[in-house]
Amino acid sequence: MTTIQNRRRFTVDDYYRMAAAGILKPSDRVELIEGEIVEMSPIGFVHAAVVDNLTMLFARAFGKHAIVRIQSVLRLSELSEPQPDALLLKPHRTKYKHQHPGPQDVLLLVEVSDTTLGADREKAALYAAAGIQEYWIVNIPDRQIEVHRSPVRGGYRSVRAFKKNERVTAAALDTKSLKVSQILD
């Protein structure tokens, strides 16, 4: 068995140069995680429908208090630029025209997980390290939402699963709660 001794980590700038040179194509479904270019899973029907539900519910519930951004870039560091399924961002009139949002801009980050549950749980450490205060995993197989709050080294201090008949609230926007079933159904 061969062990890889040295890995070349790419920066966000390297990543964009690869795209400009045509090495990465616009159709490639990839994201940069800790300096590695990671292929993203194809979006299935159920995943897409749940993201549609989130988009509609978030826009209605939080649209006056946050920017709702769907399947877009988040600059975590010089080595990580994931594309979460949904973000609630602090409202800025012009900031996002000149740069991608960073951790300090995030009110809530959401990943929808059907076939990628293990990877999305692993991302908790990445998001916590970046200082993301609240991270939800919409866990389709188990029909629940895993809410991660209070980042600490290696993950989150608080992790709680909300079941289908419960309501979940974004801590930074506690004015409205959503039924888990509204998101999943």
**Domain segments of the chain as ranges:** 43-184
Spatial CB neighbours of 13, under 8 Å, sequence gap ≥ 6: 78
Expressed in percent and rounded to 5, the helix, strand and coil fractions of the chain are: 30, 30, 40
> What is the rounded CA–CA span in Å between residue 56 and residue 122?
27
Around Cβ 40, how many Cβ atoms within 10 Å?
14
pTM greater than 0.85: yes
CATH for 43-184, options being 3.20.130.10, 3.90.1570.10, 3.40.50.720, 2.60.420.10? 3.90.1570.10
Q: How many CA atoms lie within 13 A of 183 on its CB side?
A: 32
The predicted structure's pLDDT at residue 160 = 98
Q: What are phi and psi of 150, to 5 degrees?
A: 65, 80
The predicted structure's pLDDT at residue 63 = 87
Q: Please list the pLDDT of the chain residue by residue as tens digits (185 residues).
A: 667 678 889 999 999 999 999 999 989 999 999 999 999 998 999 999 999 999 999 999 998 899 999 999 999 999 999 999 999 999 987 888 899 999 999 999 999 999 999 999 999 999 999 999 999 999 999 999 999 999 999 999 999 999 999 999 999 998 789 999 999 98
